Structure 1
Amino acid sequence: MADLLQRFSGNPFSTSVGQRIEQATDPSMTSENWALNMEICDIINDTEDGARDALRAIKKRLQQTAGKNFTVFKLTLTVLETCVKNCGKRFHILVSSKDFVQDLVKLIGPKNDPPAEIQEKVLSLIQSWAEAFHGQPEMQGVSIVYNELRNKGIEFPKSSNEPKVPIYTPQRQSSQTTDVRNITY
């Protein structure tokens, strides 16, 4: 029971995935560590509690650095975006929850005075998640917040003409390998 309480109320960086998120967003980092970001995704995909533990650590890091260290905040957003693009439905359901998205919006509010680049990144993530998860009832929280913001007059970044990377993680097949020559992009 004590272990369960520690997991919900304790340090989110005490878990395996939390430790790696802390490393990937360390203030001494000068750029993204893509190998570490992908390792985080692997832990999320391969463990039962990985998605929940990762989101707790990401949320904590964003709260710690909002208004203080925008370099770490940006690294954390990159970890978050990488996880959304490379993890499965368990993670998507948590990220698309109305509460998480509203918390993300609060972090880029006037109180924290983030640079325009950070505001645009967060709004762009919300917009792309709303589009990607549209029509999936268990992931409608992000669409609700997106529409509320648009109705309040919040302007989202214009979509580029570049094709968007889909938010889709294929199921792993442990005993089969895929011939990359047969995949069309």
Structure 2
Amino acid sequence: MEFLMGNPFSTPVGQRIERATSSSLPSEDWELNMEICDIINSSEEGPKDALRAIKKRIVGNKNFKEVMLTLTVLETCMKNCGYRFHILVTTRDFIEGFLVRSIIPRNNPPQILHDRVLGIIQAWADAFRSSPDLTGVVSVYEDLRRKGLEFPANQLEGYTPPEAPKKVDTGLGDLCFIANRSLPICPVPKEQIL
């Protein structure tokens, strides 16, 4: 039914994904990749629109440079976007139907692409194992291991399941919080508190 939704590159995020994954780029455009994350995080349809464009770039694409750039965009989004994006990407349907499918032997992918896809699946399975809504990737990973696929060394850096901000007991009541294990953020200057 996805064909009824039109060109995935016609949306604001889709246009940027198309540019960020163009084989004419000499290398990754990190500014554009972060702009993609901002759009995903700030618009209602951003996660769905982005995933449609990512799928379009991966499926049946014989230009492996574009596929590698698409994987970079996807990884960047997984590291910088939240639950609304994670819930779409970590499904069994996406992992099997798009990522695993991109490395099947009949597509004759280069070894670097094969290893990168397996590394991504492994990293996400490890990172999201304890998040009940995000375990589709875990079941695909375990199936692939049972089938004897060898995975590269773990690379978990940057993948953390979404969690609520944690309060810090500073004696200042509800003025300070820690969000995602960062330093406390105090909206009121210390001079005004004392």
TM-score (norm 2): 0.80
Displacement over 4 Å in runs of 4+ = 5-8, 168-172
Which residue pairs with 1:58 in the alignment? 54
* Bigger relative CO (Cα 8 Å, ≥ 6 apart): 1
Give me the whole-angstrom Cα distance separating, in 2, the residues matched to 1:120 and 1:127. Answer: 10
Which residue pairs with 1:108 in the alignment? 103
Aligned length: 169
Which residue pairs with 2:41 in the alignment? 45
Which residue pairs with 1:147 in the alignment? 142
Equivalent AA in structure 2 for residue 81 of structure 1: E
Which residue pairs with 1:71 in the alignment? 65
Contact 2:122 2:154 in 1 (8 A): no
Contact 1:74 1:118 in 2 (8 A): yes
Contact 1:86 1:167 in 2 (8 A): no
Counterparts of 1:1-185 in structure 2 under 5 Å? Answer: 9-65=5-61, 68-103=62-97, 104-159=99-154, 164-167=157-160, 183=183
Give me the whole-angstrom Cα distance separating, in 2, the residues matched to 1:74 and 1:118. Answer: 7
Which residue pairs with 2:171 in the alignment? none
Give me the whole-angstrom Cα distance separating, in 2, the residues matched to 1:23 and 1:74. Answer: 14
**Which consecutive unaligned segments of at least 5 residues does structure 2 have?**
166-175, 185-194
Q: What is the Cα-based RMSD across aligned positions, in Å?
A: 2.5
Per-residue CA distance 1:136-169 (angstroms, 9 max, x = gap): 1211110010000000001101236xx7233356
SS state at 2:152 partner: coil
SS state at 2:114 partner: helix
SS state at 2:126 partner: helix
Give me the whole-angstrom Cα distance separating, in 2, the residues matched to 1:33 and 1:169. Answer: 26
> Alignment identity in percent?
53
Contact 1:86 1:168 in 2 (8 A): no
**Which consecutive unaligned segments of at least 5 residues does structure 1 have?**
none
